Amino acid sequence: MCGRFVLITDLSVIGRDFIVPNVGVSFSASRDVSPGQRIPAVVRRGGHHELVLFQWGLIPAWCKDPSIGAKLFNARAETIAEKPSFKNAFVNRRCLIPADGFFEWKKEGSKKIPYYFFLKSGRPMGFAGLYETWIAPDKKPVHTCTIITTRPNAIVEPIHDRMPVIVPEAARELWLNPAVKGATRLLDLLKPYPVFEMACRPADPWMDLHISQSTRV
């Protein structure tokens, strides 16, 4: 499960890394990005990449109760091709969610200790995501997204039994391309990230103070 991540890299750098020609949105750097917030995401439209803002917590277009978004901030890679909440977005609306790293918690005695995972290169990662547009009763569109999770690699496994899917840089274009419909090709990307490219450390005291206990996962 991925319920907290860090994004402090400036969006101008994100734009260069993810080949976004024009960055037309803003985001306040945060070491505690949480479900329900509006977060940057990269989509492919009209043959080029765009950086947009989505509310984190997917609301399917057909849903009558938007509160479901509070539960759908993650989607399991093993079931997205069949689960009604995700299968249409998996085929047609895929995105990348940039992050500097993410947190998972390990129970140690009576406490849950946060651990921070990041790339050894120090570069931002791109989580595999899906997005939807839900029309509110007042006819206003609500744009939402979810982060896909998979089984853990060897560095995450001692801490948690799930991890976000990190799409390798070489596969980003394939994941974003809406013309790609083959489930097998896409599902092949939803696997644990190479462990030798990642690092982990206990969260420092500043981070620990700024991560709310109420939604730790």
The CATH number of residue 133's host domain is 3.90.1680.10
Looking at residue 79, what is its pLDDT?
A: 96
Bridge partners (DSSP) listed for residue 201? 116
Q: Which residues are catalytic?
A: 2, 104
pTM over 0.85: yes
Which helix (H) or strand (E) is 15 found in, with range? helix 11-17
Has residue 212 been placed in a domain?
A: no
Has residue 86 been placed in a domain?
A: yes
Answer whether residue 216 shows pLDDT above 70: no
Looking at residue 15, what is its pLDDT?
A: 96
Bridge partners (DSSP) listed for residue 126? 98
Has residue 214 been placed in a domain?
A: no
The tens digit of pLDDT for each residue in 122-159 reads 999 999 999 999 999 999 999 999 999 999 999 999 99
Query: CA 142, 166, 4: angle at the middle one, nearest 5?
Result: 60
Has residue 143 been placed in a domain?
A: yes
Task: Please compute the mean of the pLDDT values over residues 106-116 and round it to a whole number.
Answer: 88
Has residue 210 been placed in a domain?
A: no
Task: State which residues form the domain around 37.
Answer: 5-99+120-196
Has residue 207 been placed in a domain?
A: no
The tens digit of pLDDT for each residue in 158-210 reads 999 999 999 999 999 999 999 998 889 999 999 999 999 999 999 865 454 44
Has residue 206 been placed in a domain?
A: no
Task: Give the number of domains in the chain.
Answer: 1
Instruction: Tell me which residue has tokens 């039994």.
Output: 161
Contact 33, 5 (CB under 8 A): yes
Answer whether residue 215 shows pLDDT above 90: no
